[in-house]
Structure 1
Amino acid sequence: MAALPTFLPLSEAARKYGLDEARLRALIEKGKIRAGVIAGEMVVSEDELRDQAVTRKEDLPEYKKNAHLRGVPIWIGEASRKYGIPDRTIINWVKRGFIRTLGQDKNRKLVDEADIAYCAEVYNQRKGQGKWLFDDNGLPYKPKTGPLIPS
């Protein structure tokens, strides 16, 4: 059985997610977040709010747990061995902008270890190969849900 959605009062949602109430109201008006009225108070869907509020990978718990590595250089071959990810995959992530380049050390490209750790976390959660892991913003990819087509 699916979990029931959680709704928060507008003022509490704004405080919890660090958003202005006017911004929340605009998201509601645009249909980005579902809202309702309970006992005369406007409430919003916490799941949808979280999706709207988290627009940077740096805001995700998967990133924050390795934020202390931000700006720490690691070369791609070392990152591949340390995090168990094929170096070709890491190179593709760098090309797509999910991992910041910090410079060069002779012929080795240095990348941000916090970005590597975050990508590795998502890669390992989703079991990697053959799946979309990230959207264009570097956030974990969410498959579009549509109507089920009977077979």
Structure 2
Amino acid sequence: APEHAERLWDRILDAGQPFGIRPCGLGARNTLRLEAAMALYGHEIDASITPLEAGLDWIVKFDKGDFLGKTALERQATHGVRRKLIGFEMGGREIARDGYEVLAEGQPAGWVTSGAPSPTLNKNIGMCYLPADWAAPGREIEILVRGRPCPARTVALPFYRRTR
């Protein structure tokens, strides 16, 4: 019940004190999600993007019976997708944000879904959709930041993977 929220919050913080637990805000959560390449609805995924385009093919179970959209996804699995989600690192200090246009060989090619400075990597990073033939690590692209083309390079996702 809502009246217990404050007490629960205090108990969580107290129990986590030996582990260094601290509250964090939405910005910190978003940066961690971006570094781990976790999709956020409304950014990397929405009703117009398929799981295969978003690199989430591991969640699609074609052998688990029929489901809405199965035929279209099977077609994509067989013939490939037109666009793919890929990571990028900015070449300079610019920060690419959601919705910024991505250029490949100087031509409009895709859009940024998320971007932020990465304190873990000490780089400005992001994710974008590009045509499938451009969505490979090591490609030189440009991102229009406030209308100015800024250099970036595509990289494999995730940006950061915790070692166990």
TM above 0.5: no
Structure 1 or 2: more strand by fraction? 2
TM-score interval for Structure 1 and Structure 2 normalised by the shorter chain: under 0.3
TM-score, length-scaled by structure 2: 0.26
Greater RCO between the two (CA within 8 Å, min separation 6)? 2
